[in-house]
Amino acid sequence: MSQTRISIDVMGGDRDVETVLTGVTLALEHRPETEFLLFGDAKLIEPLLDKFPTLKAASKVHHCDVSIDMDMKPSQALRQGRKTSSMWQAIDAVNAGIADGVVSAGNTGALMAMSKVILKTLNGIERPAIAAIWPTMKGETIVLDMGATIGGSAEQYFQFAVMGDAYARIIFGLESPRISLLNIGVEEMKGTDSVKQASDLLTSSSLNFCGYVEGNGISQGDVDVVVTDGFTGNVALKTAEGIAQLISGYLKQVMVSSIFARIGYIFARGAFGALKERLDPDNVNGGTFLGLNGVVVKSHGGASPKGIAAAVELAIEVAANKMSEKIADEMDKMEEELLAIQE
């Protein structure tokens, strides 16, 4: 198996450097063929690497004096972090061809801005999109965009669908992913003009378009790709995370509400443990930036080592499968198809 090299923005995120290194080490245990380039403050990273001998042997530290704060505006991050920050240099390693992908738990806006400046978008892509893997009753679904854009034209939704189709083929191994547009109803007359126009384009295309899906239908798992704009997608994601936390909180309250509840918990502990595992967002941590000339994966800023590992393994999988090249090929084919539809 060929070796994959992933660059890590060690300084990004709400957690400490040790959390990131622990997560990368977990990923290395599952993917031992991987090498890592660790970008950040060497004075913090190198002493900690002594705790992780396998990672130390499989990585190289690149010292950076600057890190990007989580609350920094993208424009400010570009001014202060250009060329010198751990985030910039980790992305630039992909552009230079010395890394196959980059993972950062840092500032999302800054990561997207720097990625667009350094890697540029693929031909035919107007806006990149963040794709997340969403757990469902039947497995998993890809939802995009999750925060890179606000609003969108019919053509941009079409591009998101093409990218989501290619991504689902890689991640899920599907031959013909089922694609839907997120809408306020499944009826044809509902939705904004751009959503309805996107529906017309997708219906006329060779993609496996299955019409509209409502917000409460995402978790049913009846489609493989759900397309929306970044504002709506991010609201949907945060709402789902909040509901998962609410359910978890309710269960904890109920389990200690009486002596009988505590006894019942003892007998049902295995089932509750399985439910907790299903609700754990760290299992599907990692949003992939689609539409760029390179692989960029954004980890949740507060992710645990388990979550960091999931994001790193996702980057390894996507990079190994040449995602950017496959999306570019798909866009070339679909651009001709789109022009024919619009004539």
* pLDDT reported for residue 18: 94
Instruction: Please enumerate in sequence order all residues whose Cβ is within 8 A of that of 29, keeping only pairs 6 or more positions apart, or say none.
Output: 54
Kindly list the structural domains of the chain, giving each domain's residue range(s) and its CATH number in brackets, ordered by start. 1-125+291-321 (3.40.718.10), 126-286 (3.40.718.10)
In the structure, what pLDDT confidence band is assigned to residue 212 with cuts at 50, 70 and 90? very high
The phi, psi pair for 41, rounded to 5°, reads: -75, 110
Place of tokens 């393994």: 313
Gyration radius from the chain CA atoms: 21
In the structure, what pLDDT confidence band is assigned to residue 210 with cuts at 50, 70 and 90? very high
Asked if the model's pLDDT at residue 196 lies above 90, the reply is: yes
* pLDDT reported for residue 1: 45
pTM for the whole thing?
0.86
In the structure, what pLDDT confidence band is assigned to residue 284 with cuts at 50, 70 and 90? confident
Beta bridge partner(s), residue 121: 292
Q: Is 175 helix (H, G, I), strand (E, B) or coil?
A: coil
